[in-house]
Amino acid sequence: MVPNANGPRMSRLLRICLLLFAAALLYFSAFIAVIHLSGGIDSSAEADVIIVLGAGLHRDGRPGRALTRRSQQAASLWQEDRAPLVLCTGGQAEYYPRTEASVCREILLAQGLPESAILLEERSRSTEENAIYSRQILDEIGLKRVVLVSDSYHMLRAGWLFRQQGIEPHTSPVPASRMRHPLEYPRALLRELIAFHWQFFKEIFQIPLTHISGI
């Protein structure tokens, strides 16, 4: 009887597929661990300005949970005299009635900050554009030392994108414990994983996009 060569070939193929799957699982798990661990590092220090990264609104213009907790974190830092100014970032998506930055300002005012302490960057539609347009404002006013405020899961990518614009920020991440829904943090980590790899892909192939809705 002629031996069936398909059996060993299929076995080798299965082993290769399992090894590739295990390697991919290890890689993505390690990447998520790095995002998680870096988000636990608070390096905030005395600075010229606190930059709040924008986040989504409700359809009626009310702030979402992420923007609320980021703005409140920035207000606390201002009250601790970490910086005299707060820069709210975030433009207006097609389905928002107003800009994220303007809603951030409202939260800050409600927390006791004066209008004179608040700057607005209202053009950005992504974290990359947050960095680009913030850099322009910092250069115009002559500000250099920055404390960057965002959620912990967002901090690694945000810091990377700001450093690409020549800004070396101190970071003040909002702890993941302030997220109310139990699935909010795992979903955010997955989203960051996708956003990181899109950014890598975009830079490798020099794709001239600075925003995609939701990233």
Domain extent listing, the chain: 49-175+184-204
Beta strands in the chain (DSSP E): 49-52, 85-89, 118-121, 146-151, 170-174
Tokens (6 digits) for 66: 């992420």
| This prediction's pTM | 0.92
Tell me: the pLDDT tens digits for 50-95?
999 999 999 999 999 999 999 999 999 999 999 999 999 999 988 8
| Residue pLDDT tens, the chain, 215 long | 455 656 677 788 889 999 999 999 999 999 999 999 999 999 999 999 999 999 999 999 999 999 999 999 999 999 999 999 999 999 998 888 999 999 999 999 999 999 999 999 999 999 999 999 999 999 999 999 999 999 999 999 999 999 999 999 999 999 999 998 889 999 999 999 999 999 999 999 999 989 886 55
The pLDDT value given to residue 104: 98
Yes or no: say if 155 and 132 are a contact pair by the CB < 8 Å rule.
no
Tokens (6 digits) for 52: 């709040």
Task: Provide the 10 A C-beta neighbour count for residue 138.
Answer: 22
The pLDDT value given to residue 2: 52
Residues 11 and 111: their CA atoms lie apart, in Å, by: 64
Tokens (6 digits) for 11: 């076995």
Q: Which CATH fold would you assign to the domain 49-175+184-204?
A: Rossmann fold (3.40.50)
Residues 76/80/82/84 CA torsion (nearest 10 deg):
90
The pLDDT value given to residue 3: 57
Q: DSSP letter string over 2-29?
A: ---THHHHHHHHHHHHHHHHHHHHHHHH
Residue with tokens 């097609």: 94
Which amino acid is it at 141?
A: I
The pLDDT value given to residue 95: 84
Yes or no: say if 5 and 166 are a contact pair by the CB < 8 Å rule.
no
Residue with tokens 């290769």: 16
CA torsion sign for 53, 133, 109, 95 is negative
Separation in Å, CA 104 to CA 13, 70, 73, 90: 54, 9, 11, 9
Longest dimension (CA), the chain: 90
Residues forming beta bridges with residue 146, ordered by sequence position = 49
The pLDDT value given to residue 7: 67
What is the three-class DSSP state of 126? Answer: coil
Tokens (6 digits) for 26: 């290890």
